[in-house]
Amino acid sequence: MSRALLRSALELRTPITRLPPPFLLPIPIRPRANALTAAPAAARFFNQTTQIVDPPIPSSILADAGRTPTQSPTAPAPTAAPVAGISKISAALSTQIPQPPPPARTSTEPLSESVRTLLPLLAAQPGHYATAHIHGRPYLVTAGDLVRLPFKMPGVAPGDMLRLTRATAIGSRDFTLTGAPWVDERVFECRAVVLGTESEPMRVLIKKKRRQRRAKRVESKHRFTVLRISELRICDELVAA
Amino acid sequence: MRTSRPDQPFRAVRHQSTSALALDSALEATAADEPYDDGTDHVRFPPLERLPNATKLPSPLPERALTSAKLAALHARLSLPQKLPLQTLARALVDISADENPLFNNVNLAFVGQTITHYHVAEWLMCRYPRLPMTIMYAAMKAYAGDETLHSVARSWGVESAAEPGGEVDSGLLQFSMYKPVSHIGFGYGRKDNSRVEQGRWRRGIANRVLFDDDFGEQIGYDTRKKAQIPTSSQRTFSYGTEETRAAAERAHAAAVRAVVGSVYAHCGREAGKAFIRAHILSRTIDVSTLFEFKSPVVELARLCQREDFEPPVARLLSETGRLSRTPVFVVGIFSGKDKLGEAVAGNLDHARYKAAMNSLKSWYLYSPGENVRVPSEMLVEGSKAWEPTYIDIGEIIHG
Amino acid sequence: MGVKAVHRITTGRNGLGAFILQCKKMDFHYCDWAGSSKGMNGFIKSILPKFAAAHPQIEFTVSPRPSKHPVIIGHYINGRDKAICVRNLEPLQILKKVELLRDASGEKLKKVTKPVQSINESVRGIWSPYHGNGMRV
C-alpha cells in the first residue's frame, strides 16, 4: 500500500492531462455482427411515457465533480411538480452514473434563520435520513436502502433515476429538520434508482357461502416497483453561499 | 458384475472439450471422416459451422470477440465506453492459468488494474479513517479489494466461467483452469522461506509486512488459510469443489475484475478509471468497526491516555438493573477526568468494562473528518480547489 | 501486537454506485409449424429486433423447439431462471411477458411486509431502557 501511495506521489509530478471522462457517457449502440444483440434504435422505444428531465447543469456546478451532463440540452423542460413527489432525471438503461442537476423548481424565498444556522450542523454529522413521501406514503430512508413501493410505477424501466422531492423530515443523529408540511427542496437531494419490478406469491382467496356448493377462487398477484436510494445529500453549500 | 475387455481398448469421444480433441488427434480425424447421421434435416437446420483450427489454441482468437453476444452484453451491462474495444474486454477474461502467453492473457491489464484499485482504495481509506491501525487498514483494504470481494463483484456483473479453457470457448466467458497453480501477481518482495516465519524464527511485524509483503500485508506465495507454502509443481491432483478450486476461482475472477479496471484506465484515462472504481468497488459497504479484535483493550486504552496526555481512564458504573435481578445489566462508562470516552452494556461488570474500553478505542481509531473527504487524486483534475492538508495521525498505540 | 483484524468482505448493493440489470440472458423458443407459436413467430419477426437493440445488456438467443409450445426463459445474475410459456399469445402480450422478465430480479417471489430494507446503522440510534431518567409510574 505504501508503494501504491509512493506511485501516486510520483504520478503527481507528471503534467496534468485532463480528458473528458468517457465512462460517464451514455451507452453507445453500435451495429454488431449478431443482429439480435444490438442494432441502432431509440433507447426508450418500449416506454411510452416521456421523460421528465431536469435541465443541464451549469458548468460552475460541474467543475468540482468533473462530470458531463448526460442529457442533451434539447431535453424537455421540467414540467410542473408531480403530485407523486418524484421527478425523473435520467433515461433508463442508458447511463449509470447519477448526474447532479440543480433543484428543478427553485423557490426564491430565503431560508429561515434557524435553518441557516443549524443546517450546517445537521450536514456535518455522519449519517442522514429523510422521510420521503411517494404518493402520500412516508418512507424513512437512508442512502443505500431498498424501498419496495406498494404499486407498480408506470412508465419507468430498470435503471431509471428518480429524484424524490417531497420529504416531511430530514435529519441526522441529533438534528431533525421538519417541513411544514414539506422540507424545502433546495435543502436536500434524494435520488433513487429503479431496480425493477417484483411480485409476490399468488394470493388465493376461496369465497364460499354456507350451504351452497359453490366455491369461487379469487386470485391476485400484485406487482411492486423496487427502488434503491442511491444518494441522500444535504445541500449545506446553499447556506454557505 | 464387471468384465474387463483388455483386447478392446476403451474409446471415449468428447466433442465438447479441447483436451479430448487434443489428446487424441487420430480419434478426431476418424470422427471427422465419418459424420454421425442422426436423421436431422440439414436443409432446415444447417449443420453447425465447423470450428476453425483455433481449437488447438489455449484461448480464443481476439477477432472472435466481435461476434460474441455474451461479451457484447457484458460490455453494455457494465456501461463501458465505446473506446474500450471488445477485444480488450475479451482479453480481460482470459486468465493466466488458461493462456500463459502474456500477449493474450490478462496479466498485464490485471497488474495495472490492481495498482489503480489499491491506490484508490488506500487513499480513500486513509483520508476517511486517518487513525486506523495498520493491521485494520490491511484488513479494510482486503475487504474492499481482496480476491474474495472481487470474486463477488465479478459474480454480480454476471461473468460466467467456462468449464475448461480453450480456443473454441465463447470469448464472453471467463477462462481459467482450476488445476494450474499460478504465481503471485503484483507488488511485494516475498521471502525466501515462508516456513521460517511460521516457525517463529523470522519475526514478521508490521514494519516487516509493509516492507516485504503484498498490499494486504500478506505473505507472498503463502496460503494463509492452509498455513502452507503454495505448491509450485502442477503434479498435484485436485478434485472438484475443494478449497483449492474455490481459491483458484476467486483468484481468476478477481484478476478479471482488476483487468477490466485496468482496461478502463488504459483506454479511457484516469478519471474514468477512478469513476469505475468508485462505482463498483468503493460503493460497497462494510462497517469498519467490526474489523477490530482487541487482545487487552484496557491496557491499550491506558497507553493511549498516557500518550495523549489525557488523565488515566477510570471505569465507572453508570447504572444497573440490580445485581440480584433475574438478568442483571450493568452500564459502565470509561472516563478520563470528566470526559466520557465510551460506554457499554453487559451482563457482568468485567465484561462491561472490557466492552467500554473497546468502544473507547474504536471511537478513537475510527475518527473520520467526514463521509465525503477529499482525496489526493482529486487534485489531478484541472481547476480543482486548493488542497487542504488532510489529517495525519501520529500512529497507533504500541504497548508490550 | 495490540489490535488484530477480522477477515470480512464488503457487501455490494446494486444501484448504489453502479446499476446492473439483473436479467442477463433471454432464450426464445418457437415452433415453425404449431399454431400456438403464431404470436411468438410474429413477435420474433417484428418486435424482438427492436427490443434487443434497446437492451444491449441482455444476451438474446432464438432457437426452434419443434412440436412444443413457445417458451421464453430469462436467466438472471443470481443464477436462477424464469420460464414463461407464451402459447397462443399475441405479439404485444408476449412483449408484456418479456418486459416482466426484464424487470424481474430473479429472486424467488416472497411476501415482504416491510417497505424499506436497510443494512445501514440506525441514524438516530436505538432506544435503550438503561439510559435516561426513566419514567415515574
pLDDT digits (tens, 9 = 90+) for A66-90: 333 333 333 333 333 444 566 666 5
Q: How far is CA B371 from CA A1, A127, B332, B390, C82, in A?
A: 22, 8, 30, 13, 40
In the three-class reduction of DSSP (H, G, I as helix; E, B as strand; rest coil), residue B113 is classed as helix
Q: How far is C88 from chain B (nearest CA, A)?
A: 24
Mean pLDDT of chain A: 71
The Cβ of residue B93 has, within 10 Å, a number of other Cβ atoms equal to 35
- For residue B388, list chain A residues with Cβ-Cβ distance below 8 A: none
Residues A200, C109 contacting (CB under 8 angstroms):
yes
Task: Specify the DSSP element, H or E, that contains C30.
Answer: strand C23-30
pLDDT of residue C13: 95
Please give the Cα distance from B63 to A200 (Å, whole number): 45
Q: Which of residues 65-94 of C touch A (CB under 8 A)?
A: none
* pLDDT, mean of residues A139-166: 95
User: Which grid coordinates belong to C3?
Assistant: 489490535
- Reference B186, options A4, C9, A29, A205; nearest CA is A4
Q: CB–CB of C105 and A196 under 8 A?
A: yes
Q: Which of residues 172-191 of A touch C (CB under 8 A)?
A: 172-173
Q: What are phi and psi of A28, to 5 degrees?
A: -80, 145
The Cβ of residue A59 has, within 10 Å, a number of other Cβ atoms equal to 9
In chain A, DSSP assigns E strands to 86-90, 129-134, 137-141, 146-148, 161-164, 167-171, 176-178, 188-199, 203-208, 215-220, 223-234
What proportion of chain B, given as a percentage, has pLDDT over 70?
Answer: 82
Choose among A1, A25, A27: nearest Cβ to B118.
Answer: A1
Choose among B126, B276, B380: nearest Cβ to A23.
Answer: B276
The secondary structure of residue A25, as a DSSP letter, is S
In C48-114, DSSP assigns E strands to 59-64, 71-76, 81-85
Residue A25 has pLDDT above 60, yes or no: no
Q: Would you call C21 an interface residue with chain A, using a CB distance cutoff of 8 Å? A: yes
Task: Specify the DSSP element, H or E, that contains A123.
Answer: helix A113-124
What is the set of domains in chain B, with CATH numbers?
54-290 (1.10.1520.10), 294-367 (3.30.160.20)
Class of domain C23-61+71-103: alpha beta
- For residue B377, list chain A residues with Cβ-Cβ distance below 8 A: 8
* pLDDT, mean of residues A135-150: 96
Q: CB–CB of B331 and C130 under 8 A?
A: yes
pLDDT of residue B26: 42
* pLDDT, mean of residues A132-136: 95
User: Which grid coordinates belong to C124?
Assistant: 438516530
pLDDT of residue B224: 56
Do the strands C81-85 and A167-171 form a parallel or antiparallel pair, or are they unpaired?
Answer: unpaired
Q: Which of residues 12-31 of B touch A (CB under 8 A)?
A: none
Choose among C9, C24, C56: nearest Cβ to B158.
Answer: C24
Of A11-25, A98-112, C13-27, highest mean pLDDT: C13-27
| Strands of the sheet with B330-336, listed across from one edge | B313-320, B330-336, B339-346
Residue pLDDT, tens place only, B186-196: 667 767 777 77
Q: How far is C62 from chain A (nearest CA, A)?
A: 9
In the three-class reduction of DSSP (H, G, I as helix; E, B as strand; rest coil), residue B364 is classed as helix
The Cβ of residue B94 has, within 10 Å, a number of other Cβ atoms equal to 30
Helices and strands in chain A, H and E counts? 4, 11
The answer to pTM > 0.90 is no
User: Which grid coordinates belong to B371?
Assistant: 463521509
Alpha-carbon B10 to chain mean position: 43
- For residue C52, list chain A residues with Cβ-Cβ distance below 8 A: 36-39
Residues A191, A164 contacting (CB under 8 angstroms):
yes
Choose among C14, C18, C58: nearest Cβ to B73.
Answer: C58
- For residue B172, list chain C residues with Cβ-Cβ distance below 8 A: 59
pLDDT of residue A53: 59
Choose among C14, C21, C125: nearest Cβ to A93.
Answer: C21
Residue A240 has pLDDT above 80, yes or no: no
Residue A30 has pLDDT above 90, yes or no: no
User: Which grid coordinates belong to B56?
Assistant: 488447438
pLDDT of residue A68: 34
pLDDT of residue B357: 96
Please give the Cα distance from A26 to A93 (Å, whole number): 9
The pLDDT confidence band at residue A5, using thresholds 50, 70 and 90, is low
Residues (pLDDT < 70) of chain C are: 1
Q: CB–CB of A64 and B385 under 8 A?
A: yes
- For residue A63, list chain B residues with Cβ-Cβ distance below 8 A: 383
Which residues does residue A205 pair with via DSSP β-bridges, in sequence order? A218
- For residue A23, list chain B residues with Cβ-Cβ distance below 8 A: 79-81, 264, 268, 271-273, 275-276
pLDDT of residue B229: 52
Look up cell 386470485; give the residue: A219
Q: Would you call C131 an interface residue with chain B, using a CB distance cutoff of 8 Å? A: yes
Do the strands A137-141 and A146-148 form a parallel or antiparallel pair, or are they unpaired?
Answer: unpaired
- Reference C26, options C43, C3, C14; nearest CA is C43
Residue A107 has pLDDT above 80, yes or no: no
User: Which grid coordinates belong to C67?
Assistant: 412440436
Say if residue A181 is preceded by a cis peptide, omega within 30 of 0.
yes
pLDDT of residue B74: 96
Residues 6+ apart with CB under 8 A from B382: A16, A18
pLDDT of residue B233: 47
Please give the Cα distance from C107 to C80 (Å, whole number): 7
- For residue B133, list chain A residues with Cβ-Cβ distance below 8 A: none
The pLDDT confidence band at residue B18, using thresholds 50, 70 and 90, is very low
What ipTM is given for this predicted complex?
Answer: 0.94
Please give the Cα distance from A156 to A140 (Å, whole number): 22
Q: CB–CB of A127 and C120 under 8 A?
A: yes
CA atoms within 13 A on the CB side of A148: 17
Residue pLDDT, tens place only, B76-114: 999 999 999 999 999 999 999 999 999 999 999 999 999
Choose among C10, C64, C131: nearest Cβ to B286.
Answer: C10
Q: CB–CB of C17 and B282 under 8 A?
A: yes
Comparing alpha-carbon positions, the chain A residue that sits nearest to C48 is: A36
Q: Which of residues 102-131 of A touch C (CB under 8 A)?
A: 127-129
Q: Would you call B366 an interface residue with chain A, using a CB distance cutoff of 8 Å? A: no
Q: CB–CB of A28 and B187 under 8 A?
A: no
B21 vs B231, higher pLDDT: B231
pLDDT of residue B66: 94
Look up cell 473454441; give the residue: B168
Look up cell 521460517; give the residue: B196
Choose among B158, B206, B286: nearest Cβ to C11.
Answer: B286
Show the CA angle centred on residue B189, arms to residues B183 and B194, nearest 5°: 75
- For residue B63, list chain A residues with Cβ-Cβ distance below 8 A: none
Q: CB–CB of A158 and C52 under 8 A?
A: no
Comparing alpha-carbon positions, the chain A residue that sits nearest to B119 is: A4
pLDDT of residue B50: 66
Q: CB–CB of C123 and A142 under 8 A?
A: yes
Of A48-57, A221-230, B246-255, highest mean pLDDT: A221-230
- Reference B294, options B397, B198, B205, B145; nearest CA is B397
Please give the Cα distance from A25 to B314 (Å, whole number): 57
Please give the Cα distance from A218 to B203 (Å, whole number): 73
User: Which grid coordinates belong to B99?
Assistant: 493462456
Residue pLDDT, tens place only, B279-330: 999 999 999 999 999 999 999 999 999 999 999 999 999 999 989 999 999 9
Residue B278, classified by CB atoms within 10 Å of its CB into exposed (0-12), middle (13-18) or buried (19+), is middle
